[in-house]
């Protein structure tokens, strides 16, 4: 495409690190927008991005999280259309981004199919569970099963301090149809259509919109959406760590927190995507004693 400059937004920093990595490999300029709140709570990923040669720009508008970083990235993109390519970190933004990101992430469900066929003798599970911020790891998890009605889809969004508290990012439960970052989808907004500040303990789920694909799946009741609160996610993260020796990312911990809200049969095959590792979240985890 002849572009020489790469920009990205990031919440938890995972997408920023991925983008910085590819830019280091290709020797391209890399600029990552990240809310100042997230720069502080996910500073390990900030150090990784800097080490990889990226410039991290802390964003100080709004509540200084993912929405605000995305605003700034889109502003930059609009101002530099000739030389800049914007790598979006989730199934959000204007078309064709949500579709493109979902297709790229679909390697996850391709892998699920392969591994289930090998390990369970059938290539579909009874349940697929994933957390949703913008929706990319969930989209990848469900992509090849969308039309397979045998598979129940469960999406875990961030309840924050509770869906009723006003400090939440439970977009599918609370959102109304609106426009955010170029997509028509559910948005947490006030009566005048002003986007409200979301809240979640996890930087990656702290977004007042949701991918249009997921909004559609929820409207059609193809997906069950559960809000998992901060404390439920923390408890689930500690449980996975103790039982399996896997420290999950705070975002993934929300998917794990959904397990207790569901009723399974002993023979059910349940696949849950652990979207990231929890090294970046150790400081947050250590603030809680379980
Ligand atoms: C580890 C991890 N999981 C999940 C998410 C949420 O994003 P998405 O809903 O696009 O998968 C993030 C976002 O930063 C993340 O870092």
**pTM of the predicted model as reported, rounded to 2 decimal places:** 0.96
For a substitution probing ligand 1, which of 8, 10, 11, 12 has the most ligand atoms within 8 Å of its CB? 12
Phi, psi for residue 192 in degrees, rounded to 5: -90, 5
pLDDT of residue 270: 98
Alpha-carbon distances, residue 122 vs 14, 116, 154, 190, 269 (angstroms): 32, 6, 20, 46, 10
List, for residues 61-84, the tens digit of each pLDDT value: 999 999 999 999 999 999 999 999
Contacts of 75 (CB under 8 A, 6+ apart): none
Segment 227-255 mean pLDDT: 98
pLDDT of residue 289: 73
C-alpha 37 – ligand 1 centre gap (Å): 16
Q: Is the dihedral of CA 196, 199, 202, 205 positive or negative?
A: negative
pLDDT of residue 200: 97
Segment 46-64 mean pLDDT: 97
CB 224 within 8 Å of CB 152: yes
C-alpha 121 – ligand 1 centre gap (Å): 30
pLDDT of residue 140: 98
C-alpha 142 – ligand 1 centre gap (Å): 15
Cis, peptide link before residue 96, omega less than 30° from 0: yes
Asked whether 157 lines ligand 1 (CB < 6 A), one says: no
With a cut of 80, say whether residue 24 has pLDDT above it.
yes
3-state secondary structure of 161: coil
Alpha-carbon distances, residue 85 vs 46, 73, 222 (angstroms): 21, 10, 34
Segment 52-65 mean pLDDT: 97
Q: In what order do the strands lie in the sheet with 270-272?
A: 223-229, 152-160, 127-131, 270-272
DSSP annotation of 196 = P
List, for residues 82-123, the tens digit of each pLDDT value: 999 999 999 999 999 999 999 999 999 999 999 999 999 999
With a cut of 90, say whether residue 43 has pLDDT above it.
yes
pLDDT of residue 290: 66
Beta-bridge partners for 229:
160
**Taking the mean position of all CA atoms in its chain, how far away is CA 6?**
21
Residue nearest atom 4 of ligand 1, based on CA coordinates: 251
């Amino acid at each position: 495409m002849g572009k020489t400059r790469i920009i990205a937004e990031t919440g938890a920093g995972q997408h920023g690190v991925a983008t910085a990595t590819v830019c280091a490999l290709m020797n391209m300029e890399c600029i990552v927008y990240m809310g100042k709140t997230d720069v502080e709570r996910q500073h390990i990923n900030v150090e990784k991005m800097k080490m990889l040669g990226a410039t991290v720009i802390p964003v100080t508008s709004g509540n200084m999280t993912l929405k605000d970083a995305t605003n700034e990235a889109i502003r930059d993109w609009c101002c530099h259309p000739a030389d800049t390519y914007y790598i979006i970190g989730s199934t959000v933004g204007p078309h064709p981004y949500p579709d493109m990101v979902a297709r790229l992430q679909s390697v996850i469900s391709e892998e699920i199919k392969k591994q289930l066929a090998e390990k369970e003798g059938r290539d579909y599970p009874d349940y697929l569970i994933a957390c949703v911020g913008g929706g990319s790891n969930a989209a990848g998890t469900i992509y090849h099963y969308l039309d397979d009605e045998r598979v129940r889809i469960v999406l875990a969004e961030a309840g924050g301090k509770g869906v009723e508290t006003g400090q939440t990012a439970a977009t599918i439960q609370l959102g109304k149809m609106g426009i955010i970052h170029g997509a028509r989808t559910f948005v947490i907004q006030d009566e005048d259509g002003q986007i409200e500040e979301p809240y979640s303990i996890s930087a990656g789920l702290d977004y007042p919109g949701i991918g249009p694909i997921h909004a559609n799946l929820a409207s059609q009741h193809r997906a069950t959406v559960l809000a998992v609160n901060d404390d439920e996610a923390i408890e689930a993260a500690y449980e996975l760590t103790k039982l399996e020796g896997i420290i999950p990312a705070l975002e993934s911990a929300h998917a794990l927190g959904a397990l207790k809200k569901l009723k399974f049969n002993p023979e059910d095959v349940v696949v849950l995507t652990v979207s990231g590792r929890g090294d970046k979240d150790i400081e947050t985890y250590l603030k809680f004693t379980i």
